[in-house]
């Protein structure tokens, strides 16, 4: 339900799930399904449950980065992230050819760690673009009405675009982005997302490659932040409740 709501924090980007959907007509379809290179590669996705979380004991891996006693658990460790990214990269490469290199569109800032590791794991050439968007809405719920803070630097006409996302929560931001990019004449638009919270999804978005399905709890690390902190952690972890209650 609303378990993925980031704790409200002044200055935090209005991202994350929860709240009421203000549908702008996108629900159920992003309108670009036939622009996708094909059906979802669901066999790539690992299901992570709370039972997989490794509680932080005496050795606190957050402390190596200056976050002493702030994390509750590691949800996905560095090695598992690395192994998954190699698998995702192979799968994306298999759907592209050398002549039409994928144009990776990294959605700032959360996907930064992922895109750099992903591009380095891709066995074919790729090109890199960045986009930054912000979602209008309350502090804790994304409305699906999105504003572009930084647009692509170039034309994507005829290109095979792969949107690289850190996490799909409600899916509202991504749904908007898919429709926006589809109007620019790309040959295809696919999505690779490292994480997805299936229970938080409010709009049906075509995400072809998903690394991990995770519980709705708020996660940090590997690009994901809480009030701009924790992006620098090399693993995905659960924040201690005392950090936001
Ligand atoms: P939505 O899919 O439109 O609800 O928004 C997704 C965005 O919310 C992601 O790109 C993240 O930036 C942010 N987000 C969602 N869940 C989390 C979380 O658990 N931790 C950190 N950021 C999150
Ligand atoms: Mg994001």
Global pTM value: 0.86
Spatial CA neighbour of 36 closest among 196, 195, 178, 210: 178
Nearest CA to ligand 1 atom 13: 16
Instruction: Ligand 1 pocket test: pick from 4, 131, 169, 239 the residue with the most ligand atoms within 8 Å of its Cβ.
Output: 169
Residue 69 vs residues 66, 73, 236: alpha-carbon distances, Å = 9, 10, 15
199: which DSSP letter?
A: G
Average pLDDT, integer, range 195-216:
95
Q: What is the distance between the alpha carbons of residues 3 and 197, in angstroms, rounded to a whole number? A: 10
20 has a pLDDT exceeding 80: no
Mean pLDDT, the chain, whole residue set: 86
Q: Which residue has the higher pLDDT, 100 or 148?
A: 148
Instruction: Ligand 1 pocket test: pick from 12, 110, 212 the residue with the most ligand atoms within 8 Å of its Cβ.
Output: 110
Q: Is 23 exposed, middle or buried (0-12, 13-18, 19+ CB in 10 A)?
A: middle
Q: What is the pLDDT of residue 58?
A: 83
Q: Please identify every residue whose CB atom is under 5 Å from ligand 2, which is an ion.
A: 110, 166
Q: Which one from 80, 166, 169, 190 is the annotated catalytic residue?
A: 169
220 has a pLDDT exceeding 50: yes
Local confidence band at 100 (pLDDT 50, 70, 90 cut-offs)? confident
Q: What is the distance between the alpha carbons of residues 203 and 31, in angstroms, rounded to a whole number? A: 12
Q: Which residue has the higher pLDDT, 5 or 98?
A: 98
Spatial CA neighbour of 164 closest among 99, 235, 89: 89
Q: What is the distance between the alpha carbons of residues 168 and 82, in angstroms, rounded to a whole number? A: 19
């Amino acid at each position: 339900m609303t378990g993925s709501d980031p704790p409200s924090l002044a200055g935090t980007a209005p991202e994350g799930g929860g709240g009421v959907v203000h549908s702008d007509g996108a629900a159920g379809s992003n309108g670009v399904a036939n622009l996708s290179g094909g059906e979802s590669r669901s066999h790539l996705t690992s299901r992570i449950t709370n039972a997989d979380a490794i509680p932080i004991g005496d050795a606190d891996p957050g402390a190596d980065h200056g976050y002493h006693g702030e994390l509750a658990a590691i949800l996905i460790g560095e090695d598992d992230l690395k192994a998954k990214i190699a698998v995702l990269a192979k799968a994306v490469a298999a759907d592209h050819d050398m002549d039409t290199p994928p144009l990776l569109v990294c959605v700032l800032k959360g996907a930064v760690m992922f895109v750099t590791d992903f591009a380095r794991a891709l066995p074919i050439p790729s090109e890199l673009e960045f986009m930054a968007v912000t979602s209008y809405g309350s502090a804790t719920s994304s409305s699906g009405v999105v504003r572009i803070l930084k647009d692509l630097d170039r034309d994507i006409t005829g290109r095979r675009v792969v949107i690289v996302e850190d996490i799909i929560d409600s899916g509202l931001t991504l749904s908007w982005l898919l429709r926006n990019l589809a109007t620019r004449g790309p040959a295809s638009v696919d999505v690779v997302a490292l994480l997805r919270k299936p229970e938080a999804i409010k709009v049906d978005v075509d995400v072809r490659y998903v690394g991990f399905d995770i519980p709705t709890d708020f996660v940090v690390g590997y690009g994901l932040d809480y009030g701009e902190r924790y992006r620098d952690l090399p693993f995905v972890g659960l924040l201690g409740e005392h950090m936001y209650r």
